[in-house]
């Protein structure tokens, strides 16, 4: 089948819903040759380059769907730049053993919008929380609930979640999603 153009892929990702997922996969496949290039250029292993490439592609998905990628650069150039940066990060991680820093749990962007006093309270509460336990409970939440919460975490709107998961409307999907989060909270609080 003919390779999709960048414009088609971008339009599909911005359209959201199931088209977004399909176009994301096709974008990944279209530029996957960068992995071999990364192996040659950065002397990283194939696995390391594949991980760097996945991270770069995921960043592109995010930038496209949130409007951060405005199309001023060619999509391939933009992805290549991100991929190169991820490869450099991977080299640094290898040489300085700082992987724990890269994996740090960060809520900085979300917290910035809070007023100072509230931010300080919420930050203290998060610092005392058991993030690993929350991860575990989210894994165990039940397939439908987990899929819904993950879609929300990935940035899908309630209208898209409703369309993909067969809910009658965005409002119904929202109610169900909030119930799932509530269920997760109950479980998290009772086990603390």
Partner 1 sequence: MNELETIENYVNGLLSPDERARFEAELLHNSALAESLAFYMMTQQVARQQALDKRRAELAALRTKPASSPEIRPLWGTAERFRWLGIAASVVLVSLIGYYALRPSTDTLAELTTAYTNDHFSQLSVTMSGETDGIQQGIALLNEGKTAEADSLFENLVRTQPDRDDVLTYAGIAAFRQKQYDRAIDRFHRLGQLPGLYANPGLYYEALTRLRRNVPNDKSRAKILLQQVVRQNLVGAKEAKKLLATNTL
Neighbours of 4 (CB within 10 A): 17
CA–CA distance, 51 with 29 (Å, rounded to integer):
14
Closer CB to partner 1, 32 or 73, in the complex: 32
In angstroms, what is the minimal distance from the CB of 104 to partner 1? 11
Residues that bind partner 1 (CB under 8 A): 1, 4, 8, 10-12, 14-15, 19, 24-25, 28-29, 32, 35, 50-51, 54-55, 57-58, 61, 65-67, 70-71, 105-107, 110-111, 113, 115, 117-118, 121-122, 125-126, 129, 131, 134-135, 138-139, 149-155, 157-159, 170-171, 174, 178, 181-182, 184-185, 188
CA–CA distance, 13 with 25 (Å, rounded to integer):
10
Q: Which of 1, 11, 3 is nearest to 28 (CA)?
A: 3
Please count the CA atoms within 13 angstroms of the CA of 109 that sit on its side-chain side: 1
In angstroms, what is the minimal distance from the CB of 150 to partner 1? 4
């Amino acid at each position: 089948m003919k390779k999709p153009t960048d414009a088609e892929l971008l339009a599909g990702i911005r359209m959201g819903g199931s088209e977004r997922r399909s176009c994301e996969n096709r974008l990944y496949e279209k530029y996957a040759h960068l992995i071999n290039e990364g192996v040659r250029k950065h002397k990283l292993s194939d696995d390391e380059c594949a991980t760097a490439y996945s991270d770069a592609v995921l960043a592109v998905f995010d930038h496209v769907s949130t409007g951060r990628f405005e199309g001023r650069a060619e999509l391939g150039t933009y992805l290549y730049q991100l991929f190169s940066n991820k490869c450099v990060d991977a080299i640094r991680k290898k040489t300085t053993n700082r992987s724990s820093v890269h994996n740090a749990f960060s809520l900085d962007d979300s917290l910035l919008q809070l007023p100072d006093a509230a931010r300080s309270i919420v930050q203290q509460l998060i610092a005392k929380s058991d993030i690993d336990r929350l991860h575990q409970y989210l894994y165990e939440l039940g397939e439908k609930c987990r899929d819904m919460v993950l879609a929300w975490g990935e940035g899908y709107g309630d209208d898209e979640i409703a369309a993909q998961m067969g809910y009658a409307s965005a409002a119904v999907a929202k109610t169900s999603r909030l119930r799932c989060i509530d269920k997760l909270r109950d479980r998290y609080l009772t086990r603390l």
